[in-house]
Structure 1
Amino acid sequence: MTEQFDAFAAQCRARADAALKARLPAPDSQQPDLAEAMAYSLFNGGKRVRPTLIYAVGEALNAPQAAGLDTVAAAVECVHAYSLAHDDLPAMDDDDLRRGKPSCHIAFNEATAILAGDALQTLAFQLLAENNELSAILKVALVTRLAQASGMQGMVLGQAIDLGAVNKALDITRLERMHHCKTGALISASVAMAALVCEASDSQIQSLERYTRALGLAFQVQDDILDVTSDTATLGKHQGSDLKQNKPTYVSLLGLEGAQQRADELYREALDAIAEFNDSAGWLRALAAYIVQRNH
Structure 2
Amino acid sequence: MAREKKRRSNGRRSPLAAAALIGAGLLITGGIYAGASAAIAATDAQTSASTELSIEDGQKLFQSNCATCHGLDLQGTDAGPSLYGVGELSVEFQLATGRMPLQMQGPQAPQKPPQFTQPQIDAMAAYVQSEAPGPTFPADEILDGEGDVAHGAELFRVNCAMCHNVSAAGGALTEGKYAPALTSTSALHIYAAMVTGPQNMPVFGDMNLSDEDKRDIISALLYQQESVSVGGFTLGNLGPVSEGLFVWIFGIGGLVAITVWITAKSN
Q: Normalising to structure 1: TM-score of the pair? A: 0.26
Max Rg structure: 2
Highest RCO, 1 vs 2 (Cα 8 Å, sep ≥ 6):
1
Give 1 or 2: higher helix fraction.
1
Q: Normalising to structure 2: TM-score of the pair? A: 0.28
